[in-house]
Amino acid sequence: MNAGAASAVRTGAALREAASTARENWTDLASAGAVIAVAAALAPLLLGGLVATDTLASGAYLALAATGLALCIGLAGVPSLAQGAFMGTGAFTAAHLLRHTGLPAELCALLGALAATVVGTLAGLAVRSLDPVRVAVGTWLLTWLVALALGALPWLSGGAQGLVVPTRRLFGFEPTPLVHYELGVVLTGLCALALVALRSGPFGLDLAAAAQHRGAAAALGIPLERLRVGAFAASAFVGGLAGGFAVQLQLVADPTAYGPLLSFELLVAVLVGGAAAALGPSAGVVVLGLIALSAEALGALAGVSGSRFQPMLEALLLLAVLTTGGIAFVPAAVRAFRSLRPTRRPHHPAPSAPPMRRETLRADLLTKRFGLVAGADGVSLELVPGTITALVGPNGSGKTTVLRLLAGALAPDSGDVRIDTGDITAAPPPERVRRGLVRTLQTHAFFGDLTVLQHALVGVNRTRRDGGAVRALLSTPRYRAENEVAEAHALAALERVQLVNDADRSASELTGAERQRLMIAAALGANPGALLLDEPSAGAATEDLERLAAILSALRQDGLAILLVEHNLQLVDAVADEVLELELGRIVRRRKATPH
């Protein structure tokens, strides 16, 4: 068999495997989604001319842009108000290319999307470390900047008349409104499928974790800022693509069509329909269409244009959604549907843990001062595989500061940190996690919207090689194979902390002590050689304390090096091999613990 034939056989086998996996994972909700997609494709026929086809086509492109915005809001939890600006960037780039080049219409739209991606990437870099409120303000300013630029530069926007766009065949067809509508439906469907694939994969889980508790996500090594920039770029690409095709439907690039109001309407559509639901943004666009009809009716009664009422009605609807706790239409419908249908318990592979890493962690003369106060004053320690070292001391003694220095959340003024793989003093937290050093946080640092299994998978994601966004979108054979291994490793981590039977529960249903163990499982999922635990017994009852002691003792026997920061001396005496007493940032006493 030659190489070409062998490649064809492998490709065929991979496709059959993918089809088999899709059949196994097909649900009633997927069937409902397929029915909705078919109905959407047949809408011009089903509506029988009640709505003009060009209006439907414009709505399809708005649904595409809104679904792209959901990549930013629903996955990353970032309230972007710049999607209208990205649509405008794509539209005017495509318009100029169509006017001044002989490039195919599809390529002009794609280049418009790439131009919007550049703008989106720059916007993501600018707001990547900001909190949600400042992100919203920053992206709103970007929308105004684009609108003002279009108004101030007639050579770019065509002035008040806009840019007239020549017609050109689209994928070999005459560019009729019906062709544009079906293209918009297909692209929106593909984007919705991409949203589903990314949400359930490592990219989506990492972003969801970071959106829910940024500190805990950082402690697990999630590269939050890089992921945020990626979400902005993907959102901008889809918005630019929608603009690049929509301008060919409208045959004119109107600078007033891509102002702040468009960004606001897209935000309303996503939040009202459901940012995390695949069909939520499209449902939100349908709601916007109904609002437009209502505004026209009000305008007719008042004897004025309905456009005066539409923004007001949209704002009132958004306010209603926000004041009811963010209840959106599609997620509410999905919950109601699931309540009427028995849920199948997912089939999980047998737990299978990777070989335990054995790493020695050394810190030499770590010093960190905050003004005149010493958070750490020449702290030296060594964590050896198969041992538990306890760090104790009163509040304010510097225990958390030492942990943060070891984990890379703080840079030391002097001193160094080394692990078997080398010097990590200047390494950021994601790099330290990759090299075997993982930390958990105090109290309730968990991801309430994820399941117990997904928590552990967030940790396992740090060890994956084939879990990138592109592989998730394409569902490659290597991605699917690694998925099963990753789930088995996550279940093994849950088994270590005695939570494997709760894998499918929501983390928000767990007790405080169970949540502490859950975050230990997430840390174990990253396959550490050295584990830093910050008060894991917080809120634990006596039986929880005994269970935690048994878990830590088992991890020590498996060869893990553990640093335990604790106030509960009962737990310290039960598990520690060495106790370091800290006072005013300095280790004042080292003692061997009582033999267990």
pLDDT digits over 359-370, tens only?
Answer: 899 999 999 998
Q: Look at residues 242, 259, 276 and tell me which one is the last residue of a structural domain.
A: 259
6 found inside a domain: no
178 found inside a domain: yes
231 found inside a domain: yes
Same domain, yes or no: 240 and 118: yes
Same domain, yes or no: 233 and 369: no
Write down the pLDDT at residue 113.
96
HSE-up (13 A, CA, CB side) for residue 523: 32
139 found inside a domain: yes
569 found inside a domain: yes
- Most confident range, picked from 208-212, 306-310, 473-477: 208-212
Same domain, yes or no: 138 and 254: yes
pLDDT digits over 26-84, tens only?
Answer: 566 666 667 777 877 777 777 767 778 888 999 999 999 999 999 888 888 888 999 99
Same domain, yes or no: 254 and 365: no
- Mean per-residue pLDDT over the chain, rounded: 85
For residue 12, is pLDDT > 60?
A: no
DSSP codes, 413-475: SEEEEEETTEE-TT--HHHHHHTTEEE--STT-S-TTSBHHHHHHHHHGGG-SS--HHHHHHT
pLDDT digits over 441-494, tens only?
Answer: 876 778 888 899 999 999 999 888 877 777 777 777 888 888 888 899 999 999
Structure tokens at 594: 């009582």
Q: Look at residues 199, 231, 259 and tell me which one is the last residue of a structural domain.
A: 259
CATH number at residue 549: 3.40.50.300
Q: Is the dihedral of CA 497, 498, 501, 507 positive or negative?
A: negative
Same domain, yes or no: 251 and 377: no
User: pTM (2 decimals)?
Assistant: 0.85
Q: Look at residues 226, 259, 292 and tell me which one is the last residue of a structural domain.
A: 259
450 found inside a domain: no
Total number of domains constituting the chain = 2
Structure tokens at 445: 């640092």
51 found inside a domain: yes
Alpha-carbon gap, residue 136 to 147, rounded angstroms:
17
Write down the pLDDT at residue 443.
66
Range of the domain at 403: 361-436+528-592
Same domain, yes or no: 251 and 396: no
Rounded to the nearest 10°, the torsion over CA 89, 90, 93, 95 is -120
119 found inside a domain: yes
End-to-end distance of the chain based on CA atoms, in angstroms?
Answer: 64
Same domain, yes or no: 240 and 120: yes
DSSP codes, 134-185: HHHHHHHHHHHHHHHHHHH-HHHH-GGG-EE-----BTTB---HHHHHHHHH
Same domain, yes or no: 252 and 380: no
